[in-house]
Amino acid sequence: MNADIFAEWFRRQGYRVVRTPSSYWYEVSPRVYQAFPYHWVMQPPEDELSRFLRQNRAIGLRYSTSVDRPLGCISYHAVYDQPSYTLDGLDRRSRQNIRSGLKNCRVELISFERLAKDGWSLEKDTLDRQGRHVNLKEETWRQRCMAAADLPGFEAWGALVDGRLAASLLTFQMEDCCEMISQQCHRDYLRERVNNALSFVVTQTMVSRTNIRSIFYALHSLDAPASVDEFKFRMGYTTKPVRQRVVFHPWLALFFNRASHATVKQLLRRYPGHPTLAKAEGMLRFYLEGKRPLNEQNWPECLNHRKKELLKNA
């Protein structure tokens, strides 16, 4: 399984995909591109980025690079790369939640058809619970799920309570890394700890596979609440420090400054949860932070304990 398969998944959903020497990119929103696979840490030359922006008439792009690079907002990937995964390696609270979840549900592989049908209500509820007002339609969700149905490397997992799908997770294995693509859970089942059970079983299963060396759970989000990643850390995942770099077309970069960022933030306060404004605010924030010296940036709380170490080695 390789990145070409992941690219095909995006194409089947209607996304435009572009290949450059350093990475693959998909048009996540009009004229804005995200690099993938998400776990790649790249160092593309500046002329490659400029050429990409010009040739594709792009407004901007976003990718992960190493901490020792001169530009980019301090950020992280949530990963697990240990040789084993057991309850003993987790804190007491997490162990209790997982044991409770395993008593309340059954975790197993499910069909993509079931993910498309029953997972829709979970996805809607998850977005609403997180305050992310994404304009996602049921047909778009179904297309996303079914686009993976016959592609090697994709798997759909579910946590079932009395036969009903309570939480779901889509994964993709690319070479020796498993990427957790998206996870959903209905609020009615949060107290049953089905999310904990689902994450535990899938992580343990992936770690036990001899051809998988690491699991990528999430890229530090532009707009999701910090609590989304706190769950992953409680489940034993750790932060892999990176810089997320946002690059705007050189003809437009002049307009992306602190004044325009303040305007977008003001609009977002007026229209909280607006998906386009939320992403735009995140892109501008990462872009402006990424131009500041590393020691002057606003660090994610989950990296503060490593700040001295990382600044010393940067």
Report pLDDT digits (tens) over 250-274.
Answer: 888 888 999 999 999 999 999 887 8
**Average per-residue pLDDT for the chain:** 93
∠ Cα 99 195 302 (to 5°): 100
Q: In the chain, what are the domains? A: 3-74+242-313 (no CATH), 82-212 (3.40.630.30)
Using the predicted structure, report yes or no on whether residue 226 has a pLDDT greater than 80.
no
Q: Which of 9, 11, 5 is nearest to 148 (CA)?
A: 9
Give the per-residue pLDDT at 133: 65
Q: Distance between CA 300 and CA 287 in Å, rounded?
A: 15
pLDDT, residue 221, reads: 87
The rounded distance, in Å, linking the Cα atoms of 306 and 25 is: 30
Q: What is the dihedral of CA 310, 312, 313, 314, to 10 degrees?
A: 80
Question: Is the pLDDT reported for residue 227 higher than 80?
Answer: no
| Listed range (17-21, 25-29, 249-253) with the worst mean pLDDT | 249-253
Using one digit for the tens of pLDDT, what is the confidence trace for 78-108? Answer: 999 999 999 998 999 999 999 999 999 999 9
The string of pLDDT tens digits covering residues 138-177 is: 999 999 999 999 999 999 999 999 999 999 999 999 999 9
**Cα angle at 50 between 222 and 37, to 5 degrees?**
45
According to DSSP, residue 306 is labeled G
CA angle 214, 184, 167 (to 5 degrees): 95
- Least confident range from 2-16, 73-87, 272-286: namely 272-286
Closest CA to 168 of 96, 85, 110, 217: 110
Residues 6+ apart with CB under 8 A from 38: 64, 77, 179, 216, 219
How much is the pLDDT for 274? 83
Q: Quick one: pLDDT at residue 214?
A: 96
pLDDT at 17: 97
pLDDT of 1: 61
Q: What is the pLDDT of residue 252?
A: 86
- What is the token pair recorded at 188? 């009615």
Per the omega criterion (within 30 degrees of 0), is the bond before 37 cis?
yes
What pLDDT shows up at residue 129? 82
What's the rounded mean pLDDT across residues 209-238? 89
Average pLDDT over residues 191-205: 96
**What whole-number distance in Å separates Cα of residue 78 and Cα of residue 183?**
14
Q: Mind listing the pLDDT tens digit for each residue in 41-71?
A: 999 999 999 999 999 999 999 999 999 999 9
